[in-house]
Amino acid sequence: MVRQKGIISRRYRDLIAERAVLIPAILVSVILIAMVIVFLDKASPIFITQPITTLLFSSSWHPLSGQFGFFPFISGTVWVTLLAMGITIPISILSAVYLAEYAHRRVRGVAQPLIDLLAGIPSVVFGLFGILLIVPLIKEQIAPLAGVNSSGYCVLAGGLVLAIMVFPIVISISYEVIRAVPTEMREAALALGATRWETVKFVVLRKALTGIIAAIILGFSRAFGETMAVLMVVGNVPIVPQSVFDPAYPIPALIANNYGEMMSIPAYDSALMFAALILFVIVVAFNILARIVLVRVYRKGV
């Protein structure tokens, strides 16, 4: 009888624990759905005045005249993000390979806390760093070297600052995935006569490729939605950039700069909500894609 009561008691405890973890999971899902509903509701008035194709592909941004072309902001976001990821991917992957495969234990012991510290620095500090160092460097050194005039507040400045911010995410995840590759695979390749670099290139990286792609996707989603640091160095001019030395105006900067001041203008407020919806959908899509890739990695045992 006592044993039976104990079994029933454990079942109740398991049931309570299951419900306790189910409620937060449902709450998170409800919040996500609620955000989509709120953004759609607030953005819906702009769909009445202009078709969505005009909103997405027009370059005419004259809010007081009722013209809301988001193409300059979308293109500015894409320019800055792609440039940042183009800088981030090779540096981060090579850094992760070095830390995982070549670095001495003491070097890893110093480097990993520094990378974690870099991830915890507020974005406004990165923005100030960009203003004090990167912007003058572009204006006085890099732009003249390329034969162009630039104020320094441009796509290149935003891409460099953003790349520095994304480094810790891609390095950390790539490092963990590379370290998770079984040691036996390395030993087998070395036993067959492969050099250390050949082992890393053809065995380790090939096995860890899916996880590295997931790290890049997560970094991309972080870069796409970053606001403060990019806002401070990118110039914030609503034009379609033609080169990395042109200013840009990413979507997050548009929302941060204008939302509080323009709430009294219904059409402007609706347009900004549409911008937030665009950003929200893209970032969520990239995060979901990254999670799917990571699940595949862990199911394969890497």
Single out the residue of 222, 212, 210, 183 nearest to residue 199, CA to CA.
183
Is 245 in contact with 150 (CB distance < 8 Å)? yes
**Count of residues for the chain?**
302
In order along its 302 residues, the chain shows pLDDT tens digits of: 545 555 556 777 777 776 777 787 788 778 888 888 888 888 888 888 888 888 888 888 888 777 888 899 989 988 998 899 899 999 999 999 999 999 888 888 888 888 888 888 888 899 999 999 999 999 999 999 988 998 899 999 999 999 999 999 899 989 999 998 888 888 888 888 888 889 998 889 988 888 888 888 888 877 777 777 888 999 888 899 999 999 999 988 888 888 766 666 778 888 888 888 888 887 777 777 777 776 776 666 54
Cα distance between residue 247 and residue 76, in whole Å:
8
Domain co-membership, 222 together with 174:
yes
Q: Crossing angle of helices 105-120/155-179, nearest 10°?
A: 130
Pick from 121, 95, 118: nearest CA to 108: 95
Of 31, 49, 67, the last residue of a domain is: 49
Q: Is residue 85 located within the same domain as residue 131?
A: yes
Residue 201 is encoded by which pair of tokens? 């290139």
Query: For residues 38 and 48, what is the distance between their CA atoms, to the nearest angstrom?
Result: 17
Find where tokens 């050949």 sit.
198
Q: Which residue has the tokens 């001495």?
A: 104
CB 74 within 8 A of CB 278: yes
Helix (H) or strand (E) holding 67, with range, is: strand 67-68
Question: In this predicted structure, what is the pLDDT of residue 163?
Answer: 92
What's the domain range around 37? 2-49
Contact (Cβ atoms closer than 8 angstroms) between residue 289 and residue 217: yes
Rounded Cα distance, 223 and 226, in Å: 5
- Is 35 in the same domain as 153? no
- Do 19 and 95 fall into the same domain? no
Q: Are residues 61 and 164 in the same domain?
A: yes
Amino acid 133 reads: L
Instruction: Please check whether residues 7 and 142 belong to one and the same domain.
Output: no
Q: How many domains is the chain built from?
A: 2
Residue 285 sits at the vertex; the CA angle it makes with 282 and 286, to the nearest 5 degrees, is: 90
Say whether both 143 and 163 belong to one domain.
yes
Read off the amino acid at residue 38: V
Q: Which 8-state DSSP code applies to residue 245?
A: T
Please check whether residues 190 and 213 belong to one and the same domain.
Answer: yes
| CATH code of residue 236 | 1.10.3720.10
Which own/partner pairs from 94-97 qualify as long-range (CB within 8 Å, at least 24 positions apart)?
Answer: 95/167, 95/171, 96/170, 96/171, 96/174, 96/175, 96/178, 96/212, 97/174, 97/178, 97/200, 97/204, 97/205
What's the pLDDT score for residue 31? 85
Compute the distance between CA of residue 172 and CA of residue 196 in angstroms, rounded to an integer. 22
Mark whether 38 and 146 lie in a shared domain.
Answer: no
Kindly give the interhelix angle for 155-179 and 205-225, rounded to the nearest 10 degrees: 140
